[in-house]
Structure 1
Amino acid sequence: MAKSSADDEELRRACEAAIEGTKQQIVMSIRVAKSHGVWGKTAKLGRQMAKPRVLAISMKQKGQRTKAFLRVLKYSNGGVLEPAKIYKLKHLSKVEVITNDPSGCTFTLGFDNLRSQSVAPPQWTMRNIDDRNRLLMCILNMCKDVLGRLPKVVGVDVVEMALWAKENTSTVTTQKNVQDGPVAATVTESDLKVTVERELVSQAEEEDMEALLGTYVMGIGEAEAFSERLKRELQALEAANVHAILETEPLIDEVLQGLEAATHCVEDMDEWLGIFNVKLRHMREDIESVEIVLEIETRNNKLEMQSVNNKALIEELDRLLERLRVPSEYAACLTGGSFDEARMLQNIEACEWLTGALQGLEVPKLDPIYANLRAVKEKRAELEKLKTTFVKRASEFLRNYFSSLVDFMISDKSYFSQRGQLKRPDHADLRYKCRTYARLLQHLKSLDKSCLGPLRKAYCSSLNLLLRREAREFANELRASTKASKSSTFWLEASTGSGQSANTADTSSVSDAYAKMLTIFIPLLVDESSFFAHFMCFEVPALVPPGGVANGNKSGSYDDDANDDDLGIMDIDDNDSKGGKNSADLAALNESLQDLLNGIQEDFYAVVDWAYKIDPLRCISMHGITERYLSGQKADAAGFVRLLLGDLESRISMQFARFVDEACHQIERNERNVRQMGVLSYIPRFATLATRMEQYIQGQSRDLVDQAYTKFVSIMFVTLEKIAQTDPKYADIFLLENYAAFQNSLYDLANVVPTLAKFYHQASEAYEQACTRHISMIIYYQFERLFQYARKIEDLMYTITPEEIPFQLGLSKMDLRKMLKSSLSGVDKSIAAMYKKLQKNLTSEELLPSLWDKCKKEFLDKYDSFAQLVAKIYPSENIPSVVEMRDLLASM
């Protein structure tokens, strides 16, 4: 079983470093994955990503008390642990294992002091059940020992947890509080068992012994009488022994008879031994005569063996001389032969012979007794000279050959994309010609591995020119042949007018062009990386997975027989591929791929910048396209391609962030206008912009768009509040109209986009607050005396009884009647004036009915409170009832 991260000392030290200075001690640290639940009916469009976290249980000694904490740590951009959140275990109220996870490794921790209980708590996922049980048992034990209570456990059997703890806990930890603080002492389970020392003789046994001794003491008066009694008993025992001996006489007779029979057998055996002694003497005489014959045969065998050895020695010397001979045809080929394609078979045979000859003169294949012979040393030096000459000639030829192949292709303009014609790069012929010398490269590697470095650099330098020329010509013609009208970048600026025709232009051809660039060149670059790794003899694992882009023949670079043994990768160096070499060769391969493909990224950048200038929103589509290609590049040979795609993704994100910043500046310009009424122009324009952005989302671009939404709406709301503060008199009208327009324009999108739904609810709350403030202002403006009178009564009720209030200055029954006459005489006109004032400054007429309903309801609530006060303070006074006032409002 894999080692648990709870036992990882480096992880524990990293956690202690992260909380250094808090005076807390780490009890346990373990790696987990953090995820969240999804919101409502939009869950199917959300994407929850698990994030790596570290949960740490820590404790702190404060006086005589011990405090326990649950810490959440996350990894920074540099891979360093840093604190993210901290919870006190005394607030832990619930531990729930998620039943939707069939593995049982996901659980949640509920705390009773969280501010927002409506937000789903984070879900923690462990690597396996043992890690989950280990963490939960640590938390439960800490709660029991430190807090004296246990939280509610849901979704897991407590008995099952206890059985797991019994089976998996070999040691238990006890905590002792000493003067200097808590000390954790680890003792084994056997040490916890208390051994009770038993007494040697129990009470019952002691009583039995005393009773037995009492039987001997009973009836004995003096020691002499007791001695006489013992003597009589001894005599009786001796007499019984003599009687028993006399009774055994028949047994003694049987033993004597057996001894006599054995004596007769011994005498018979002595006669047989005498007979055998005579026969052995005769046999010894025969053996001496046989030894003489054997000695003669041994001498003959030695002469025959000497003859065989001499013959074998002659044969061995003949084989050694044959091994030291250099065939003349191979010597001529190695020192001055041609490297033309027709002569490659002879060159390969010469290489194979030279490799075998060099290996044949080494100790594993050559008897060690011949290794120091003068002839062997001279022949080895001659073969080394042949090897050096051949490697030098072959390396110089291959360097010139690579350069001439690429120069020939570059000089032919029809090979590249031209005006009006996009041409897919085709390297089939180039690779076919290179494969001719693949076996030669393999033998050069086995002869002298150091010669591969310059050859790899020469190949990369030559092919880099070809690839960059192909990408440049293709990108230029791709942009020239793509017809797309430029889209306006002033999405949220008021000066563009109300029409959005400039922004509805179809620019899909821009992202299609970018996708075509990736479709053509990413498989080509992966193929080139894979071919280069095989062709130049890098000892790395399979570089293109089965069914990958190379085997799909997408770039037209591999033949149908591309998977046969053209390169001979496994023919020569089968035994050389060791695990240690792979990592070194992989690093060298990535360095060579940098030389092979470096510079080609500029043409990809040019396409991205061109697409951004035509339509910045197409960055969303290009981001999704890039992510799909990036997720498919897993092979080590595509290291540069992954870096290229990652750089493209960063550049697209940077360009889109630039567009977002410019749009935010357009929003902020609205703040400079001195007087603004009605709905701001960027409110409906943002809805149009968000609708189009949703249409462009592909793959995993959701995060990119959600970040843009967050920045847009945050700036919009901040700017809206600032503009409202410039004219406090009409601030609430301005706010409620704009927040209502925001909700109306984004209603459909908020139902399917969680991020916009959050801002929709935020705008709804702000709208309600602005409505409440504005309606209260209108009501108090028309009925100020009425509600001020009610407020005075409410203030006095805190200090005096209701019966005393009518006797206070300004609150007598006469004062009440005067106030009612001035406030409620012509109340229908006052209500009509309230409606006109509500209508006066409102530019969005569709909001008036709902606002008037809110206003009537608020007025009735306030009047109802006033009527209750009057009935309590002035029970004999009559005022218009709430029902009458409701009917009056309903009739208007």
Structure 2
Amino acid sequence: MTAIKHALQRDIFTPNDERLLGIVNVCKAGKKKKNCFLCATVTTERPVQVKVVKVKKSDKGDFYKRQQTWELRDLMEVDAKDASKENPEFDLHFEKVYRWVASSAAEKNSFISCIWKLNQRYLRKKVEFVNVSSQLLEESVPSGESQSVAGGDEDALDDYQELSAREEQDIEGMMEMCEYAVSNAEAFAEQLSRELQVLDGANIQSIMASEKQVNILMQLLDEALGEVDTIEGKLSSYEEMLQSVKEQMDQISQSNRLIQISNSNNVKLLDEIQFLVNYMDLSKGHIRALQEGDLTSPKGIEACINASEALSQCMNVALRPGHDKLAAVTQQQLLFAELRDTFARRLTNHLNNVFVHQGHDQSSTLSQHTEMSLPKHSPLHRDLLRYAKLMEWLKNTHREKYEGLSRTYVDYMSRLYEREVKDFFEVAKIKMAGTSKEAKGKFGKRRRVWTLESLHGSSGKLTGSTSSLNKLTVQGANSRRSQSSSLLDMGNMSASDLDVADRTKFDKIFEQVLSELEPLCLAEQDFISKFFKLQQHPAVPEPEDVDGGTASRIPPRAEHRQSLSSEKDVVRVMMNKIFQSIETELNSLIALGDKIDSFNSLYMLVKMSHHVWTAENVDPASYLSTTLGNVLVTVKRNFDKCISAQIRQMEEVKISKKSKVGILLFVTGFEEFAELAETIFRNAERRGDLDKAYVKLIRAVFMNVEKVANESQKTPRDVVMMENFHHIFSTLSRLKISCLDAERREAKHKYTDHLQSYVINSLGQPLEKLNHFFEGVEARVAQGVREEEVSYQLAFNKQELRKVIKEYPGKEVKKGLDNLYKKVDKHLCEEESLLQVVWHSMQDEFIRQYKHFEDLIGRCYPGSGITMEFTIRDMLEYFSSIAQSH
């Protein structure tokens, strides 16, 4: 087997850098005469790989070859079949079970031992060995063939080396001494084994010869054992002494532990006593302040505040478990509750008296005053704010008394403010009534007078009063009113009834009213928030809303934010009750201002919008912001009514049949409205409302100008349209109102179109027959008659043309133009000064027609020598002399 192993190592494993460590001659179980070798190998390179290789002779029998290889890490189990009896059979469990029969049990055991050692040394995953003797797994295989096959112990597996040259020479020498060393390797191996046994026996005899030295060694060992016994005795005595010391130390340790427990209990007890003394004790000075402290002096109030805070700390202290069972703690709690109730009653009674006294105070009434100012309550607020911390204490300890004080304050202060606000608005109404000359006693409603006769200034009959007609007639006939003069309310008021100074005075009065109300409401709201400690603590219950609903309709939010919202609602409810008359009085004042002059709604809209914007910047949810916002809706509604009333009056206009129209008064009225509005709304927040009103008014003006032009009988339609749209265009160009840019361009377009139309229609009259003649010529050409053949038409021959031209000599043309100038002068009004513009346009149009007639004569009557009896130079002289003569 050694020779086979050497041959396999040389021919198969050395070329593959492998070492053969174990070999067994096997055949498959159940089959005979198909022997092969199972070899256990390791690689010489690291990491080391352990394999089981199946080697078989070739069919010719002259060399060996590898047939199958398994990794040792894939081996799961080795089954030796029987651990107590010698048995050559064994199984190797890889991915499947391989059953083998070894040539001898010794070879099987040697191979299994080799597998075990390789598994222990190189594999983390241990192979399971079944039915294998434990002695076989722990010890090396005995000497002899098995030892040479298995390779000795574990170290021999790693220390295997190839034979050196000296060793090869020795082996060759031994083989030469034996004739059958090569032919019968097994016999040679047995001979070597016998010689080895002889050498072992000689070694044993040599050892036995050294018996004397062994006896001496044994004697020394016995003496050493005696010394060990002596040392053990001493150690035992030492241990007994240490045991007594240990017991004493244990007693001392137990005593120290008891002392520590006692000290710890004493410290804890002292801590509990100090806790109760520090947090459950109220000084005599605090008790005296709570029972009989002065609530009128600053020092007394300060002492009461300190005492109430100390009492709250004592009552709100977090007691530790078991404290509530102590009689002293219970007694202190009863004392604290009695002091709390006593002081709450004293504080509530005192503040109730203050509120009642202030509510009945008559010194601040305005009934005898003529100045527009509201009384200032800052002294009262300053005095009451000294109690703010006490109110916070009352809010946290006695909610019922706190809420009762809140109701009392609201009840009595609402009476006080109602008297003051009513007197204030009475004075404002009296001063506001002074802006109208017709205001006598109660403010009577003026009758609106507006017809077209008053607009164009005729002396005809009117549906209104004669005095108003005379005033309107004078201003309509002379010139439109300047910006500094009175600005008409589109028929609501005559020019002498209201002037700019009156409106400016009204504006100042209204601004003063709002300026007085604003600080009053803000100061009161700020006081309520500070005095009643609102918007600070999350414990405020949800109050009823202004409209009767509850705050429960608010969607769930974080607790702190919800409490802030609820407390803002409380402030708003209190403010609504205290100032419940402000909104009513403001609406009444607004109605009066609108009755005096509907244009006052412009002032009120701007002022109210500004104050609403200011209030919203301070607090969008404040009472002032809400109230002014509600009143602003009314003002905006009045403003819209004013615009609608003016549009309705335009639509109801009537036409006079006896006088020319001229510039319609609602056109100049729009101009004055725009001038006033631009002055009022300069840098205003509600500019968008004015822009919308502008668009409505200008569209109504456009529509009603066309309506009047269509219904006019004395003044031509083109003149009405031309003059009024020229005035509108001039107004819009001067005021530069950006939202009316489209209307400005439209007005210019209408003015230009109607100017051209009026000029063309008017020029047909001085040369009427000549115009008709050439219109007929153009008609024939349009029907298909050739231009050079028109002169052969009976009605349009050269003789007829000469006859028509003779009817219009220069003098007749000049006379006709002079009559045309007089007629145009009668049609046009003086306010717009368009006579020269129209006359110049007529001159240009006349020259254009003249050139057109000459062109037709040249094309339709060629070579006839027919010409007009006046030239372009004559026409220019006619137009110039007529204009200068008038």
Bin for the TM-score computed over the shorter chain: 0.5 to 0.7
> Would the alpha carbon gap of residues 398 and 822 (structure 1) be closer, same or farther in structure 2, given more than 3 Å must change?
farther
1:404 equivalent to 2:330? Answer no
What is the letter of the counterpart of residue 694 of structure 1? E
Instruction: Decide whether the 8 Å contact of 2:435 with 2:505 is kept in 1.
Output: no
When the two structures are superposed, what TM-score results if normalisation uses the length of structure 1?
0.56
Cα distance change on mapping 1:349 and 1:760 into 2, 3 Å: closer
- Residue in 1 aligned with 2:310? 353
Go from structure 1 to structure 2 and tell me whether the alpha carbon gap of 1:816 and 1:703 turns closer, same or farther (over 3 Å shift): farther
Structure 2: which amino acid aligns with 1:602? T
Tell me the C-alpha RMSD between the 2 structures.
Answer: 4.6
- Tell whether 2:728 aligns with 1:762: no
**2:542 matches 1:533:** no
Seen in structure 2, the aligned counterparts of structure 1 residues 656 and 778 have a Cα distance that, compared at 3 Å, is: same
| Residue from 559, 572, 577 that aligns with 1:595 | 577
Instruction: Give distance in 2, aligned partners of 1:372 and 1:635.
Output: 54
Shift of 1:441: 0.5
What is the CA distance between 1:530 and its match in structure 2? Answer: 0.7
Q: Does 1:740 align with 2:709?
A: no
- Give the drift of 1:434: 1.0
CA displacement at 1:598 relative to structure 2: 2.0
8 Å CA contact retained: 2:282, 2:311:
no
**Alignment CA distance shift 1:331-1:791 (3 Å):** same
Q: What one-letter code is carried by the residue in structure 1 that aligns with 2:780?
A: I
The letter of the residue matching 2:408 is A
- Give the 5 Å matches for 1:333-732: 339-341=295-297, 343-345=300-302, 347-360=304-317, 365-370=318-323, 380=333, 383-384=336-337, 387=340, 390-391=343-344, 394-407=347-360, 410-412=361-363, 416=366, 418-422=368-372, 424-449=374-399, 451-480=401-430, 484-486=434-436, 494=454, 495=469, 496-497=471-472, 498-499=474-475, 502=496, 503-507=498-502, 508-539=504-535, 578-633=560-615, 634-636=617-619, 639-674=622-657, 676-679=659-662, 680-700=664-684, 702-727=687-712, 730-732=716-718
Q: Using the alignment, how far apart are the partners of 1:694 and 1:524 within structure 2?
A: 31
Contact 2:450–2:653 (CA<8 Å) still a contact in 1?
no
Q: Is the 8 A contact 1:482 1:510 kept in 2?
A: yes
1:418–1:473: 8 Å Cα contact kept in structure 2?
A: no
Give 1:511 shift.
1.7
Matched, 1:306 2:256: no
Distance, in Å, in 2 between the alignment partners of 1:727 and 1:420 is 54
Q: Distance in 2 between matches of 1:707 and 1:304?
A: 95
- CA separation in 1, counterparts of 2:634 and 2:328? 67
**Residues 1:698 and 1:609: Cα distance change in structure 2 (over 3 Å):** farther
The alpha-carbon distance between structure 1 residues 879 and 246, as it changes in their structure 2 partners (threshold 3 A), is farther
Could you tell me how far apart the structure 1 residues matched to 2:283 and 2:603 are? 67
- Aligned to 2:255, the other structure's residue is in SS state helix
Q: Measured at CA, do residues 814 and 644 of structure 1 come closer, stay the same or move farther in structure 2, by a change above 3 Å?
A: closer
Partners of 2:676 and 2:335 in 1: how far apart? 77
CA drift of 1:477 comes to: 3.1
Render the CA deviation track for 1:107-151: whole Å, top value 9, x for unaligned: xxxxxxxxxxxxxxxxxxxxxxxxxxxxxxxxxxxxxxxxxxxxx
SS at match of 2:622: helix
Contact 1:435 1:535 in 2 (8 A): yes
Q: What is the rounded CA distance, in whole Å, between the counterparts of 1:594 and 1:779 in structure 2? A: 74
Distance 1:747 1:716, change over 3 A: closer
Could you tell me how far 1:416 is from its partner in structure 2? 3.9
After superposition, the Cα gap between the structure-2 partners of 1:667 and 1:469, relative to the gap in structure 1 and judged at 3 Å, is same
Tell me if the contact between 1:624 and 1:699 (Cα under 8 Å) persists in the aligned partners.
no
Give the Cα–Cα distance (whole angstroms) in 2 for the partners of residues 314 and 354 of structure 1: 25
Kept in 1: contact 2:385–2:531 (CA 8 A) = yes
Whichever residue aligns with residue 424 of structure 2, its letter is: F
> Which residue does 2:111 correspond to in 1?
none
Distance 1:858 1:376 in 2: 115
1:891 to 861, 877, 881: 877
Deviation digits for residues 506-526 of structure 1 (CA, Å, limit 9, x no counterpart): 122222222222233311211
| One-letter code aligned to 2:351 | L
Residues 747/632 of structure 1: CA separation in 2 closer, same or farther (3 Å cut): closer
Indicate if the aligned counterparts of 2:281 and 2:314 stay in contact, CA closer than 8 A: no
5 Å matches for 1:69-148? none
Structure 1 alignment gaps of length 5 or more: 1-226, 235-243, 251-273, 542-575
- Given residue 716 of structure 1, which amino acid in structure 2 is its aligned partner? V
Give the whole-Å Cα distance in 1 for the aligned partners of 2:771 and 2:573.
83
Q: Cα 1:684–1:473, aligned 2, differ >3 Å: closer, same or farther?
A: same
What SS does the aligned partner of 2:827 have?
A: coil
1:66-92 alpha-carbon deviations (Å, 9 max, x no partner)? xxxxxxxxxxxxxxxxxxxxxxxxxxx
Q: Structure 2: how far apart are the matches of 1:456 and 1:483?
A: 39
Change (3 A) 1:381 1:520: same
Q: Report how far residue 807 of structure 1 moved.
A: 6.1
- Cα drift, residue 529 of structure 1: 0.7
Counterpart for residue 848 of structure 1 = 835
Is contact 1:463–1:596 with CA below 8 Å preserved after alignment? Answer: yes
Between the aligned partners of 1:884 and 1:672, the Cα distance in structure 2 is: 43
List runs of 5+ in structure 2 lacking aligned partners: 1-58, 67-159, 167-226, 439-445, 455-468, 476-485, 487-494, 538-557, 879-886
Change (3 A) 1:417 1:602: same
What is the identity, as a one-letter code, of the residue corresponding to 1:890? L
Could you list the per-position Cα deviations for residues 153-208 of structure 1 after superposition, in whole angstroms to 9, with x for gaps in the alignment? xxxxxxxxxxxxxxxxxxxxxxxxxxxxxxxxxxxxxxxxxxxxxxxxxxxxxxxx
Q: Is the 8 A contact 1:417 1:423 kept in 2?
A: no
Q: Is residue 421–residue 581 contact of structure 2 (8 Å, CA) maintained in 1?
A: no
| Matching residue's letter, 2:709 | A
For the 8 Å contact 1:529–1:638, the answer to whether it is kept is no
Q: Which amino acid aligns with 2:415?
A: L
Post-superposition shift, 1:834? Answer: 5.3
- The DSSP-based 3-state class of the residue aligned with 1:678 is coil
The match for 1:296 is: 251
Q: Indicate the SS of the match to 1:356.
A: helix
Contact 2:525 2:575 survives alignment (8 Å): yes
Identity of aligned residues (%): 17
Q: Which structure would you say has the larger Rg?
A: 2
By how many angstroms is 1:794 displaced?
4.7
State the distance in 1 between where 2:400 and 2:342 align: 14
